[in-house]
Amino acid sequence: IIIEKRVVIIGATSGIGRALALMYAQSGARLGLAGRREECLKTLQDSIGDKAVIQTMDLSVPDAAITLLEQLISRLGGMDLIIISSGVGHINPDLNWQMEQETVSVNVTGFIAMARTAIKYFETQGSGQLVGLTSIAAIRGNGGAPAYGASKAFVSHYLEALRCRHHMNNSHIIVTEIQLGFVDTKMAQGEGLFWVAPVEKAAWQMLRVIEKKRKHAYITRRWRLVAWIVRLLPESVLRKMS
């Protein structure tokens, strides 16, 4: 019996999430697609066909999002892989409260709501793969976007904790962190960015990492070098860069 892979993508309305949805559709997977913008989801569903089911949800309302994710998994007929691609990012040197609050609400609380729900499902099922997207910004603090970098650092540590949890239990649950550099999406704000990857290139590299069930990867691969350098920078240099 051949069972089609059942893939849930949170944040499928645009950017990397949408690109991954199209790639998985081409591979024959069944897709559960979620995001805030209903019209974008419907357009994506139309381009994929009957292998996709959609669900609008807002991660800033976590209790409702948990229920909607559970319903989406049920409608899909189960879940083998979840990719949490949703997130917000603000350049916020003035520490605008609404921007900071939204970042934490979506990137931290909303992420936990989705990741915890997925992990509990996989634990009952006995297998599955959770993929979370973080950022090079998670490595060190950034004065221009304090909450964004901190939120991605939280997600990175949370994913590591889940890996430790399932290593100790010797389970068949895979937890993958994909640490992004600059990708040509709306979230990559600002001019003069270097090594900006096209969305399709980043999504293709991510797909390979996910299917190899790796625990961690930099996308694109050259950002491994940047991460190594950033970790070594003294704070005095970091302050000038921020």
> What residues act catalytically?
148
| Residue the block writes with tokens 């909303």 | 110
What DSSP state is assigned to residue 31? E
Rg (CA), the chain: 17
Q: Which residues of 44-77 are buried (b: 16+ CB within 10 A; e: fewer)?
A: bbeebeeebbbbbbbbbebeebbebbeebbeebe
Instruction: Give the separation between CA 72 and CA 238, rounded to whole angstroms.
Output: 43
CB–CB of 212/25 below 8 Å? no
